[in-house]
Structure 1
Amino acid sequence: MKLDILAIGAHPDDVELSCGATLAKEVSKGKKVGIIDLTRGELGTRGTADTRDEEAFNAAKILGVHSRINMRFADGFFVNDKTHQLDIIKMIRYYQPEIIICNAIDDRHIDHPKGSQLVSDACFLSGLKKIETFYSDEEQPQEPWRPKVVYHYIQWKDIQPDVVVDVTGFMEKKVESVLAYKTQFFDPNSQEPETPISSKNFTDSVEYRARNLGRLIGVEHAEGYTVERFVAVDSLFDLK
């Protein structure tokens, strides 16, 4: 399946929290969008891996993405090594995305920068023709593929973005997809232990962080990204 955008997160809900509105906007414009979760979030304090699977499925339906899979890497313990890189390379070559969006380059949770670097390295290696991979039980090796650009979304830490996307009109769908993770976020009736992301302040931050970025570029809501190379435009008039 050829995708326009492939969004990758270390845990189910990373993508929704960080670039959900961007994905919903691109889906509304007819772009084919997919999500890959590296782990099932099985070390999460609240809920279980099974509940996260169900929540991720429901969130994907809300966003309208065309594909969502889970790599089932070990939550908290996956590493950026050859084995994991090859697993990601296979998926990049299978989906052939023009754009990949992945975890923050630096963050509170150790899996986020690990996932960020793993995906970034795999994107480069995926373009090397002497690395041979096979998807599933196919007999022919996959063709090399390298996305045109890799963007990193912003998570817990307030990293200064290089690119800011106007997502006005798509925050409601983003918030709905986030709240599909019922076990993870604020619920005054929950008997689960409190975590850094289960507070009302955190849930509210999904809205107010997007509103603040929007304020800075003169729109209602926005999502920010860092990029690994210079952002190039054909004309200064392409910049808002």
Structure 2
Amino acid sequence: MTCDILAIGAHPDDVELGCGGTIVKLISEGKKIGIIDLTEGELGTRGTRDTRAAEAKNAAEIMGISVRENLKLKDGFLNNSEEYQLKIVEKIRKYRPEIILANAIDDRHPDHAKAAKLISDACFLSGLRKIETYDEGALQEVWRPKHVFHYIQWKHIVPDFVIDITGFLDQKIEACMAYKTQFYDPNSDEPVTPIATKDFLESLTYRAQDLGRLSGVTYAEGFTTEKLLAFKNFDGIIC
């Protein structure tokens, strides 16, 4: 099975928070999208490996994801090593996406920026013929995605472009809230974390609303790009 787009996140819930609206919109347009979680989020203050896995499965069902895998790399200690690069190369070659959506290039959690670079380098290496990888014993064909776009997470980063997610924000928030252990719940006895506050939950709406205001739509998600984008014409520009 191949995917049009592969969204990769350091932790379960990174993808939902960063680009969940874009994903559900593209799925509604017929795109096949997969998610690769690099770690199980096992160092998170709230929840466990098992709860995070169950929550990720529920979120994928809410969004309509075609496939979701977890590489079970070490949470909190991501590094741009050959071992980790090759694990991602194997998935890129397996699913052969045209576009990769990756973690923010700079962020509060150190794993996010590390993942951004790790994923970017793996995308390049995936196109090198002398690097051999295997899937169920079969030699994989090389594959290099055409684009790597980075979604925006905790920190404010000026996007290179935005995607209009008007009409899809509610579904994004529903997918995020599938992570019941992670986000705001006034009845929870777990420790309060920066993402488990009412303010953070509300920020999912007002940040999308602000990017929409700046771009002339109701709600939007922002991305940065690793290379200059070329447009065939102006037909895709909304405002």
* Correspondence 1:6 to 2:18: no
> What corresponds to 2:186 in structure 1?
188
- Say how many residue pairs are matched: 238
Q: 1-side partners of 2:68 and 2:234: how far apart?
A: 36
Aligned-residue RMSD, C-alpha: 0.8
SS of the residue aligned with 2:150?
Answer: strand
CA distance in 1, matches of 2:182, 2:87: 28
In structure 1, C-alpha distance between the alignment counterparts of 2:91 and 2:157, rounded to whole Å:
28
CA distance in structure 1 between the partners assigned to 2:130 and 2:224 by the alignment: 30
- Give the corresponding residue for 1:131: 131
Which residue of structure 2 aligns with residue 118 of structure 1?
118
Counterpart mapping for 1:85-164 below 5 A: 85-135=85-135, 137-138=136-137, 140-164=138-162
| 1:165 matches 2:163 | yes
- Mind listing any 5+ residue stretches in structure 2 that lack a counterpart? none
Residue 237 of structure 1 and its aligned partner are, at CA, apart by 4.5
Name 2:173's counterpart in structure 1: 175
Distance in 1, Cα, partners of 2:109 & 2:41: 12
CA distance in 1, matches of 2:162, 2:25: 14
3-state DSSP of counterpart to 1:59: helix
Q: How big is each residue's C-alpha offset from its partner over 1:141-160, in whole Å with a ceiling of 9 and x where there is no partner?
A: 11110001000000000100
CA displacement 1:138-180 (0-9 Å, x = unmatched): 2x31111000100000000010000100000000100000000
Distance in 1 between residues matched to 2:114 and 2:214, nearest whole Å = 30
1:168 alignment partner, SS class: coil
What TM-score do the two structures reach when normalised by structure 2? 0.98
Which letter maps to 1:157? K
For residue 57 of structure 1, what is the aligned residue in structure 2? 57
Which whole-Å CA distance do the structure 1 matches of 2:17 and 2:25 have between them? 15
Partner of 2:212: 214
State the alpha-carbon separation in 1 of the partners of residues 104 and 51 from structure 2.
Answer: 25
- 1:50 Cα deviation (Å)? 0.6
Q: Distance in 2 between matches of 1:102 and 1:173?
A: 20
Tell me the alpha carbon deviations over residues 10-39 of structure 1, each in whole angstroms, 9 at most, x when there is no partner. 000000001001000010011000000000
CA deviations over 1:61-110 (Å, ceiling 9, x no partner): 00001000100001001211100000000000000001000000000000
Amino acid at match of 1:8: I
- The alignment partner of 1:235 has SS state of coil
Q: One-letter code of the match for 2:96? A: Q
**Residues 31 and 237 of structure 1: CA distance in aligned 2, closer, same or farther (over 3 Å):** closer
**Structure 1 alignment gaps of length 5 or more:** none
Q: Which amino acid aligns with 1:16?
A: E
| Percent of aligned pairs with the same amino acid | 60
For 1:167 and 1:33, the matched residues in 2 are separated by 16
Give every structure 1 segment of 4 or more consecutive aligned residues whose post-TM-superposition deviation is greater than 4 Å: none
Q: Which amino acid aligns with 1:56?
A: A
* Amino acid paired to 2:229: V
Shift in Å, 1:238? 3.9
Q: 1:57 to 1:126 in 2, by over 3 A?
A: same
Structure 2 CA distance for aligned equivalents of residues 32 and 16 of structure 1: 16
